[in-house]
Structures are given as structure tokens and as C-alpha cells.
Structure 1
């Protein structure tokens, strides 16, 4: 039997993602009261008493969502909702006490189904994350080559999003080309801008040209 949640917390600095996550929670647990926060500082004002359920993004403007998970996990079902599908984000989140890890690459109804399943004790991971865990424990993973450049360590997916954005594509067009949701593309852009210390499409285009991604 799926537990019923009457209160939940959503922590994400993108308003569109907060709305999407809140809608999914309402579908999963009708009548749930939802508090939202755009930063760790805002979330800190909403966790006394701790919420029974929390959806937490990892890349927040004033720190990592992992620190919030560490504070809440003893009293709260903490579920990461993120665009990051790499080991460097997945495993620290699980070690911090996250009991679920879902990617922002699905529609509202699919996420609601996952949330109900996680609450009922079903596997608490997006399918691609579950496969990553299986690969991790199936065989030793060679360490990545040392980074010998002065680049800001963009992932291959972030590099592709940067390239398409610099070519003038909108978020919707980038999402269509890469078969991602607009929420996911928005999350990638947020992290690209943070990593590169830029704040506009024009700066992104200049940086892409410097890297040889566009002419």
C-alpha cells in the first residue's frame, strides 16, 4: 500500500522545475501541501519540523542539495530530482542519505508514477540510473584520464547543449534535437552558465566559439 503524504518540500532554483515537480507530487499524492524553496537558505526556513517527503535538486545557487539531504534524511524521504546522471553526483547523494534519484527527463505522469513507487518501496531510481549502478558494481571502472586542459570540465552533454545554444537554437529546439525535456535543457544551461561564469546567450556563444564548437 502506498503511503499518503500530507506535506512535502520541493527545492529547485528554476521556477519551471518547481512547478513541474509540484504538479507531479499533486498527481502522486492528491491533497499534499507543498512548500517550495529556490535555495538552501530558503529551504532551511521550511524544515522545522522536517517534511515527510522532499524533492531536492543538487545544483543550487548557494551550495549543493547534498548538504540538505544530510540534514533531513533521518526524518524525511529525500528524493533527488536532477539532470546529473554521472557517478560524481549519484554516489555522493546516495551516501548522504538520498532514498531516491530521478532524472528530469520524463513527463509529469511518469514522475508521479515513480514517486508513488518509491513511497511504496519499489526501486527508487530512474531506469538509466539503475543501469549505471549495475555497471558500476559489475566490473571495475578505470579512472578517467587526468584533465590536462584549463577548460571548466563540461560534460559531453553540456558541451552539446552549449554548441546548439550558440548556434541560435531555443531551449525547445535544443530539447527536441537531443530528445530531452525543456526542464532538463534548462538545468544543463544553468550549470553551464555557472561553470563558465557567464550570464547570457551572447557570452555562451563567445565561449563556444573560443572552444571551437562554432565558427
Structure 2
């Protein structure tokens, strides 16, 4: 089954460019849906399971979101899709803190600059398969500079899936108590965690398990949430100590 991708971009030339980037980035057959404004994007999302993706229809697995749109701001959509089961990547021309950090706070899983070269965008987008957040080089440098110089406390620091994935969170103790029954890993999640702890990439795990890499990515997100960790190393150590794998 093709991987469903939604590209929200009002500029037709840029939209075509991003379509080429997506097709070049992934070997899976892609079913790409294009939207030039928020209203159109919302209609497509409504047809693909609604804001939670739970209406029995195959949801989008990857969503590229432009920030400046003719009928609003892409951050509105990021906020609306907080619980939507997709990897959400901002694709924009803005590299300043006023756009970057609000996007991360609203749940962006990556941040790419459309001005980057085609090859750079492909390389960054492919990081999803390896379980890494896609970040344009300029954005990665900005994040490093910000967190090296920042003296912000936990309550003020940006919090998002991307921030946890990049390791820019303040250290916190790993809980050692047993998980409640409803938060125990499923057999499938335990299998994914076992492969993760052995150093396999998302793409390799997908091949070993005979499933799509987007599905593996969903399992990993669930594992991190249930174990309250932010990296595969933390997850593997905690799971081993708790006898989860």
C-alpha cells in the first residue's frame, strides 16, 4: 500500500519541488496529496480520519507544512494535529526563533528550509527512516547555539517530540517503577524495542518485521511515550531493568 503524504504549500513551484524531494527520499510508492491552503488541507485530513486519524480511514503518514498561507498560518494546523498519527515536518523560508520555537512547541517533528539544495533536503528527509529528526543545517546550528547559551529552566524550555529526539531536554531521572498494566508494551512494541536495543535502524527493523517503516516509527513513538524516555539508549536500559524485553 502506498505511503500517504500531504504537502501543504501555497506556491505551485515550491509544491512541485517538495513533491520531487519526497519521491526521491523514499523508496516506498508514495500517494502524494497537494494542498495550497489551510481549508483544502483540512478537507483532505477530514477525509483521512479527521484531526485524530481515528475514523477508520487510512491516515496520512507524512505531512509537510508551510507556515505562511493565504488563509492563515501553518502553526494553526500543527496545533490541530497534535494527536494525528503522522510525522509533521515544517517546510518554510523562516529560520528565526519567532517561527522555529513556536513550531516545535506545536508538535513539529522536523524543520526544513526550502532554500536548501535539493540533495540536502532529500538527505534530511531520509533521516526519518533512521529515527532522526529532519533539520536543515542552519536550523541545527541555531538549536545548538540556543541551548548552549540558554539558562532557561525546564518550565521555559521548548517541549516537543523534536526537542526530545535531538537530545536538547534537561536531564531528568528515569522512572524505575513498573509500568501500569495499561501502559505495558504490546508484543509488537516489545519486538521493535528489542531490535532498537541491538542497534538496528528503523528501515532495517521494518524489513525484519515485514512492515512499513512508518509503522515502525509509530511503534517507537508509543514506546517512548509509555516508557517516558527520549532516546533508544534510555528505552533499552529501562526496558532491560524492568524486564520488558
Q: TM-score range by the shorter chain?
A: 0.5 to 0.7
The answer to whether the aligner puts 1:130 opposite 2:161 as a matched pair is no
> Please, which runs of 5 or more residues in structure 1 have no aligned partner?
142-215
What displacement does 1:71 show? 2.1
| Counterparts of 1:5 and 1:39, CA distance in 2 | 24
CA shift in 2, pair 1:12/1:137, >3 Å: same
Task: Give the deviation of 1:140 after TM superposition.
Answer: 4.1
d(CA) in 2 for partners of 1:112, 1:7: 17
Find the counterpart in structure 2 of residue 28 from structure 1.
25
Residue in structure 2 matched with residue 90 of structure 1 by the alignment: 100
Q: Is the 8 A contact 1:7 1:32 kept in 2?
A: yes
Give the Å deviation of 1:109: 2.8
Aligned match of 1:212 = none
1 CA distance for matches of 2:129 and 2:38? 24
1:64 aligns with 2:61: no
TM-score by length of 1: 0.60
Q: Which residue of 1 aligns with 2:6?
A: 9
Where do 5+ consecutive residues of structure 2 fail to align?
50-58, 152-245
Of structures 1 and 2, the one scoring higher in RCO (CA 8 A, sep 6+) is 1
Partner residue of 1:80 out of 90, 103, 109: 90
Is 1:51 aligned to 2:60, yes or no? yes
SS in 1 for 2:44: coil
In structure 2, distance between residues paired with 1:33 and 1:13: 19
Q: TM-score, normalised by structure 2?
A: 0.53
Instruction: Please report the RMSD computed on the Cα atoms of aligned residues, expressed in angstroms.
Output: 1.8
Q: CA deviation at 1:5?
A: 6.5
SS in 2 for 1:7: strand
Q: Deviations over 1:23-51 (max 9, x none)?
A: 11111124201000010000011112241
Q: How many residues align?
A: 138
